[in-house]
Amino acid sequence: MYEAKSSKLMVLGIAGSPRRGGNTDLLLNQLMDGALSQGAEAKQVILSELSISPCRHCDGCLKTGKCVIDDDMQWLHMNLRQADRIALASPVFFMGVTAQTKAMIDRCQAIWVIKYVLKLPVAMDPGKLRQGMFVSVGGTRSRNLFQPAIATVKSWFKTLDIGYSGELAFSGIDERDAILHHPTALKEAFAAGQRLATADLAG
Ligand SMILES: Cc1cc2nc3c(=O)[nH]c(=O)nc-3n(C[C@H](O)[C@H](O)[C@H](O)COP(=O)(O)O)c2cc1C
C-alpha cells in the first residue's frame, strides 16, 4: 500500500516520570503545545504506562540489532528511529533519570548494535536533521544537580544519531505542581517546543 510521507516534523515527547500530572509532565505538555503551534506532528508516550523491562545484557541483539524481549520497546524503537525531534522528560531521582527512563534508554542497546556493530543507519531517514532536548526538574538545589542525568541523555542521543540541543531544567521543584508557581518555566517550555519544531534549529 502506498502511504504518502508527511512533510511535517515529527516531535516525539517521552514522559519519564512515574508521577502522572507532575512537574515534568506539565513542562512536557507545554513543550509539545509549542511544537504543535509550529505545525509539527506531536506524538507523546508515557513510559510508566508502558511495559518496558530492563536490558538483560543477553547479547541477543548483537547479530541482528533486534531486541529479543517482546514488549512495548519493540514499537518504541521504531518511533525513536523515525522521530525528527525528541523531547525526553525525566525528573532527577538519586542524581540520575528515573528507573522508567533508564530502562528505556538501556533497551536502546539494540540500536547501539545497529550503529556500532552492524554499522547501519539508525535514522529511518538518514538525510534528515535529528535533534533532541532534555526536560528535567529536581527537588533540591544541589550543585551540579542535572549533570549526571544530562551525561546519560547525551550518550543516549549520540547512539540514536540525535544532536543535543540543550536542556530545560529547574531546581527546587519538589511538590507535584510546584512548577506552576515558577515565574517563567511553562512559558520557557512552550518556547522550547517552538524552537525544537523549527527546521533550522542549531545543534
Ligand atoms: C525516588 C526519588 C528520588 C529523588 N531523588 C532526587 C535527587 O537526587 N535530587 C533532587 O533534587 N530531587 C530528587 N527527588 C525529587 C524529585 O526530583 C522531585 O520531586 C520532582 O519534582 C519530581 O518530578 P515529577 O513531578 O515530574 O515527577 C527524588 C524523588 C524521588 C521520588
What's the gap in Å between 175 CA and the centre of ligand 1? 9
The pLDDT tens digits for 25-55 are 999 999 999 999 999 999 999 999 999 999 9
Query: Which of 7-21, 87-101, 186-200 has the weakest average pLDDT?
Result: 186-200
- The finding on whether 91 has its CB within 6 A of some atom of ligand 1 is yes
What's the gap in Å between 81 CA and the centre of ligand 1? 29
- The finding on whether 148 has its CB within 6 A of some atom of ligand 1 is no
Taking 70 as the threshold, does the pLDDT of residue 5 lie above it? Answer: no
The pLDDT tens digits for 119-170 are 999 999 888 899 999 999 999 999 999 999 999 999 999 999 999 999 999 9
**Longest CA pairwise span in the chain (Å):** 54
